[in-house]
């Protein structure tokens, strides 16, 4: 499953080790209801693609640094976002 910069959201529950999932936005199926925290792209509609990409990395940072989500778990989930894969260092596995 792959999402573009306008069609994803992240949901997570900070705990040890914590759970995280990147999936479709808007969440019409309710997949994110099992998580405590959520960030979606709904309020970012008028931003440029680069601004949206910057906020995607801010979201990653919030999950990992503030809330203690395992960096590899977060990375694996964020790989579902096309722009994340395209902008990370090309020598990282699964980057494009």
* Per-residue pLDDT tens digits for 20-39: 999 999 999 999 999 999 99
Does position 49 have pLDDT exceeding 90, yes or no?
A: yes
pTM of the predicted model, to two decimals? 0.94
Closest CA to 6 of 25, 30, 23, 27: 25
Domain contains 3: no
Q: What are the structure tokens assigned to 17, written together?
A: 């080790």
Q: What are the structure tokens assigned to 16, written together?
A: 């040890």
Residues 34-57 have a mean pLDDT of 96
Q: What are the structure tokens assigned to 26, written together?
A: 């808007």
Compute how many other C-beta atoms are within 10 angstroms of the C-beta atom of residue 1.
7
Q: What's the mean per-residue pLDDT of the chain? A: 96
Does position 16 have pLDDT exceeding 90, yes or no?
A: no
Residue 45, domain extent: 8-87
Q: Number of folded domains in the chain?
A: 1
Q: What are the structure tokens assigned to 47, written together?
A: 């931003």
Domain contains 96: no
User: How many helical (H) and strand (E) elements, i.e. helices and strands, does the chain have?
Assistant: 3, 3
Domain contains 2: no
So what's the pLDDT on residue 55?
98
């Amino acid at each position: 499953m792959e999402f573009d910069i306008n069609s994803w959201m992240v949901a997570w529950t900070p705990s040890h080790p914590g759970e995280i999932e990147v999936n479709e936005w808007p969440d019409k199926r309710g997949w994110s209801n099992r998580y405590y925290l959520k960030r979606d792209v709904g309020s970012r509609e008028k931003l440029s693609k680069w601004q949206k990409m910057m906020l995607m990395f801010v979201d990653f940072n919030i999950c990992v640094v503030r809330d203690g989500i395992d960096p590899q778990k977060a990375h694996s989930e964020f790989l579902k976002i096309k722009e994340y894969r395209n902008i990370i260092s090309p020598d990282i596995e699964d980057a494009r």
